[in-house]
Amino acid sequence: MNARIRSRLTPYLFLAPALIFMSVFTLYPLLAVGYYSFTEYDILRPPAPVGLANYQRLLNDGVFWLSLRNSFVYLIVTPVIIALAIGLAIALNRTLPGISVFRALYYIPVITGSVAIGIAWQFLFNGSGGPINGLLLWLGVIDKPIVFLTEPSYILPIAMLMTIWMGVGYYMVVFLAALQNIPEDLYDAARIDGCNHWQKHWHVSIPGIRPAIVFVAVISSLSALKVFDEIYVLTNATGGVLNSGSTMVFYLWKQAFRLQNVGYASAIAMVLLVITLSFSILNVRLLERRED
């Protein structure tokens, strides 16, 4: 092998471990799921081709459409998380005694296990003596305890609040890093131009962290579409009464691991893949447009 060929192959040799890893843990599972989505497969028996039957079944599956709707409703957490994280980042972007302690406190939920947090939230919303019921009874808002986690109208909002509480600290750090990259001269110029405190942040801080906002919007949107832990823990792996808290990923898990409908679960996974890819492409396009 001459030196010229060796020099051309060298970059690919460096990339080979990563390419092999991606092929084994990403490409192969993706192709396998795509194949299984056209089969009837329950792990115990070999997959049997059924054509588009699984996708036709999706069209008539009320729980699938409910799960899809819940997943899109869950996207409400994205603007809420962005607003709260920006507010916290602005509040903590200053040099005050003990400010680092507050930054660490807001980040604690991020490094705490979602199962542990879910158990804590189950206690908070316990229908037979939880702190939330106790507070509402004390304030006179309700006259008898509410069993929040078995009420179809409450389970999804509670899960969304849990997601916001767990995620806002992480996104706060992202925005805090972006804010610290904004030159102080821009704030001085804004003050000279007569901007008050809020106008200064609106005209300087927000435009300065716009790439971070788009990044957080992409990541939090994809996380919302793929939410699972919150629903699993809060509903004790049932999805709630009448599947009221079921989301796409939870329904996929239920079909695959509870009901052993691997072929049908694979079809759900392919639909979820198309949705998440569409969101990713849309957000990247928006980012490119803003940069232009």
Q: Is 5 within a domain?
A: no
Q: Is 278 within a domain?
A: yes
pLDDT at residue 89, rounded to an integer: 92
Q: Is 132 within a domain?
A: no
- At 170, which CATH number? 1.10.3720.10
Number of domains into which the chain is organized: 1
Longest pairwise C-alpha distance within the chain: 86
pLDDT at residue 158, rounded to an integer: 95
Q: Is 287 within a domain?
A: yes
49 beta partners = 39
Q: Is 133 within a domain?
A: no
Ordered per-residue pLDDT tens for the chain, 292 residues: 566 666 777 777 777 787 787 777 788 888 999 999 999 998 888 899 999 999 999 999 999 999 999 999 999 999 999 999 999 999 888 777 777 887 888 888 888 888 899 999 999 998 777 899 889 889 988 888 888 988 899 999 999 999 999 999 999 999 999 998 888 888 888 888 888 878 888 888 888 898 898 889 888 988 999 999 999 999 999 999 899 999 999 999 999 999 999 999 999 999 999 998 888 888 777 766 665 5
pLDDT at residue 214, rounded to an integer: 84
Asked whether the CA dihedral 232, 233, 238, 239 is positive or negative, the reply is negative
pTM for this entry: 0.86
Q: Is 187 within a domain?
A: yes
The answer to whether 106 and 163 are in contact (CB under 8 A) is no
Q: Is 144 within a domain?
A: no
Q: Is 260 within a domain?
A: yes
| The one-letter amino acid at 126 | N
Range of the domain at 39: 29-115+153-291
Q: Tokens representing 107?
A: 């980040």
